[in-house]
């Protein structure tokens, strides 16, 4: 099945099995390995991407559902080798221990800050509930997002 998706501002095509997830299409067919394959059940958030401006777990979305839609992955955050402020804040705060959860955390933080650039600590904590960090860097992640928030 041929899927056409606007990925990070560029139209891309992939020939995938009809049951393929958006995550597998991004990683295996389009070479965008930033989103991670961890739980495959939408429980950890490591595969979070934007689909038409909404944060989704790409492991739960069929590639076919993204046909002719817009997807934004973690690869879109840095521009011309300059880190996005959220990425820089994660590095500064030491919120990237093993790095496996980081792409999903970044996409969620980015989404939250776009919707509300003045987040409170409670809003950050509540908003990041969908993302799990097995290295227990949650306090550093909250600190990183707080440093970028204008709240």
Q: Who wins on pLDDT, 53 or 151?
A: 53
The domain boundary, picked from 76, 97, 113, lies at 76
Buried b (16+ CB within 10 A) or exposed e, 54-64: ebbbbbebbbb
- For residue 43, count other CB atoms closer than 10 A to its CB: 13
Tens digits of residue pLDDT in 98-110: 888 999 999 999 9
Per-residue pLDDT at 147 exceeds 70: yes
Please state, in angstroms and rounded to a whole number, the distance separating the CA atoms of residues 54 and 120. 21
Looking only at the bridges linking them, the beta strands covering 10-15 and 48-51 are: unpaired
**Pair (42, 60) in one structural domain:** yes
Residue 35: name the closest of 23, 21, 53, 52 by CA: 23
Q: How many domains does the chain have?
A: 2
Per-residue pLDDT at 7 exceeds 80: yes
**Pair (56, 117) in one structural domain:** no
Give the pLDDT of residue 151.
63
Per-residue pLDDT at 97 exceeds 90: no
Looking up residue 53, the CATH number of its domain turns out to be 3.10.20.30
Tens digits of residue pLDDT in 125-138: 999 998 888 887 78
> Which residue range(s) make up the domain with 42?
2-76
Q: What is the mean pLDDT of residues 50-74?
A: 97
Q: What is the mean pLDDT of residues 15-24?
A: 97
**Pair (137, 102) in one structural domain:** yes
**Pair (63, 94) in one structural domain:** no
Indicate the helix (H) or strand (E) that contains 54. Answer: strand 54-57
Ranked by mean pLDDT, the top range of 33-42, 51-60, 92-101 is: 51-60
């Amino acid at each position: 099945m041929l899927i056409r998706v606007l990925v990070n501002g560029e139209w891309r095509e992939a020939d995938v099995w009809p049951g393929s997830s958006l995550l597998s299409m991004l990683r295996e067919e389009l070479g965008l390995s930033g989103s991670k394959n961890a739980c495959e059940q939408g429980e950890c958030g490591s595969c979070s991407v934007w689909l038409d401006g909404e944060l989704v777990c790409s492991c739960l979305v069929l590639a076919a559902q993204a046909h002719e839609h817009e997807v934004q992955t973690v690869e879109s955050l840095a521009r011309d080798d300059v880190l996005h402020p959220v990425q820089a804040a994660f590095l500064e705060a030491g919120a990237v221990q093993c790095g496996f959860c980081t792409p999903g955390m970044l996409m969620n933080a980015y989404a939250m800050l776009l919707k509300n650039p003045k987040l409170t600590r409670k809003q950050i904590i509540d908003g990041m509930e969908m993302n799990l960090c097995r290295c227990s860097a949650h306090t550093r992640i909250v600190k990183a997002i707080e440093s970028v928030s204008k709240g």
